Structure 1
Amino acid sequence: MTSALILENLCKSFGSGADAVQVLDHVALDLPQGQSLALTGDSGSGKSTLLHICAGLEPFDRGKVVLAGHDITQNDDAAGAALRRDTIGLVFQQFNLIPSLTVAANLAFQARLAGRHDPDFTTELARRLGIAQLMSRYPEQLSGGQQQRVAIGRCLAARPRLVLADEPTGNLDEATGDAVLDLMMELAAQAGTALLLVTHSTRLAQRCDSRVHLRAGKLQVPA
């Protein structure tokens, strides 16, 4: 089975010398295309750092990150940006919506950049995310939960090969969060997209195909 994401002996430290703190210690994983993987761990364990490294947004000390067959350590900034645009969908805790664009334009933004904009698909996403009535509004006119659903819709509208999601339902109530995760997993399965989900929720993690737990810089498979 083709791998969407491979990590080999990934190491990352903050600080230097005696004050250095190693947050990732020879981390390795292989996430096949079309599979979902939940990443859990205590606050401050390095989960978000790992996700940022996978997206090519943060440097690491040594090891290898391979996205859809491309070793990102071989990329310059332009190649890295192109790979993110064409391959990865990001849902981080900061919504990063574009303030000057409406909800409709924000939803279409990433898909247009990737050359995969499908108005009918985007409309259906908005309906299923419960934001169809908000399409003409701007981000400042939305609640935190509404902005989160727009951010998720923007990611999915581009039909990426790999979705990196950092607590994607953290600003949603449980029922809405469950519905949004259902949609993410359904669309990922339909499109053969891989999903790496960072979550504090054991209940949500158990819904993924597999789980790993980050502790003391190492990935462990929960019993």
Structure 2
Amino acid sequence: MILALSGVRKSYTTAEGLIEILKGVDLQVASGESVALTGESGSGKSTLLHLAACLDRADSGSIVMNGRDIRQLNENECAHYRRTQVGLVFQQFNLIPSLTVAANISFHAKLADRFDPAWEMELIGKLGLRDYISRYPEQLSGGQQQRVAIGRTLAARPPLILADEPTGNLDEQTGDRVLDLMVSLSRTARSALLLVTHSARLAGGLDRIVVLRGGKIVE
């Protein structure tokens, strides 16, 4: 298993008091596997992704990535973990406005010291971006920008990809096409994919669906 969560709990303090979002989550994701994480709004799906990305800390339990419990990492180690072990894709494209498409795609791979020009060009071709490599984000459509964001993530061949409603800002047809590409290319890269979605239709295109309900995973 690339990622294994066991007994993960997370609470937040609000004006109404302490609210427990995750109440003992157990979840495993294998290399090359795509898993859809579904559940009602506010069920903690994004919280779970943030914990797996080392963007937030669980209250208890273990989050083991490639044999190491990331709850034990300090801030510098978390930053290195995100550079080298995890790829993040969100609704917001988060592209760098001053960089071209080609430079945006290679950015993460260079940070991770995994830049591979041949793999980048393969990605650019499969993502349908060959005619746009010299353009800047503002010159692209939403679908094109999201494809660049996916290419940036996959260029570094991260062991784990965490995606939070990555097609939420796209129309249905474009979203379907982008998701199909993400799943196909993550398999090619042998990256595990954990994707949050509200759409049962989109979830059906992945290898497995898990539901977050009552603070726990329901397979």
TM value normalised by structure 2: 0.92
The 8 Å contact of residues 167 and 178 in structure 2, kept in 1 or not, is answered as yes
Structure 2 residue aligned with 1:74: 72
The answer to whether structure 1 residue 59 and structure 2 residue 57 are counterparts is yes
Pairwise CA RMSD: 1.7
Structure 2 residue aligned with 1:220: 218
- Aligned pair partner of 2:106 in 93, 105, 108: 108
* Aligned amino acid, residue 161 of structure 2: V
For residues 14 and 177 of structure 2, the distance between their equivalents in structure 1, rounded to whole angstroms, comes to 44
Deviation per CA, 1:23-51: give whole Å up to 9, x if none: 11101111111211110011222111110
Once the 2 structures are TM-superposed, how far is the Cα of residue 18 of structure 1 from its aligned partner? 6.0
Structure 1: where are the runs of 5+ without partners? none
* Aligned amino acid, residue 112 of structure 2: A
Deviation per CA, 1:138-166: give whole Å up to 9, x if none: 22333333221111110011111111011
Where does 1:1-223 land on structure 2 (aligned, <5 Å)? 3-15=1-13, 19-221=17-219
The 8 Å contact of residues 148 and 171 in structure 1, kept in 2 or not, is answered as no
Q: Secondary structure at the match of 1:15?
A: strand
* Aligned amino acid, residue 65 of structure 1: I
Q: Secondary structure at the match of 1:184?
A: helix
Aligned residues: 219
Once the 2 structures are TM-superposed, how far is the Cα of residue 62 of structure 1 from its aligned partner? 1.2
Once the 2 structures are TM-superposed, how far is the Cα of residue 182 of structure 1 from its aligned partner? 2.3
The 8 Å contact of residues 154 and 189 in structure 2, kept in 1 or not, is answered as no
Identity of aligned residues (%): 58
* Aligned amino acid, residue 172 of structure 1: L
For residues 171 and 124 of structure 1, the distance between their equivalents in structure 2, rounded to whole angstroms, comes to 26
Once the 2 structures are TM-superposed, how far is the Cα of residue 16 of structure 1 from its aligned partner? 5.8
The 8 Å contact of residues 58 and 71 in structure 2, kept in 1 or not, is answered as no
The structure-2 alpha-carbon separation of the partners of 1:111 and 1:46, relative to structure 1 and needing over 3 Å to count, comes to: same
* Aligned amino acid, residue 211 of structure 2: H
Runs of 4+ in structure 1 deviating by more than 3 angstroms, as ranges, are none
TM value normalised by structure 1: 0.91
For residues 15 and 95 of structure 2, the distance between their equivalents in structure 1, rounded to whole angstroms, comes to 38
For residues 21 and 91 of structure 2, the distance between their equivalents in structure 1, rounded to whole angstroms, comes to 20
Once the 2 structures are TM-superposed, how far is the Cα of residue 70 of structure 1 from its aligned partner? 1.4
Once the 2 structures are TM-superposed, how far is the Cα of residue 199 of structure 1 from its aligned partner? 0.8
Does 121-130 or 35-44 show the bigger shift?
121-130
Q: Secondary structure at the match of 1:20?
A: strand
Q: Secondary structure at the match of 2:217?
A: strand
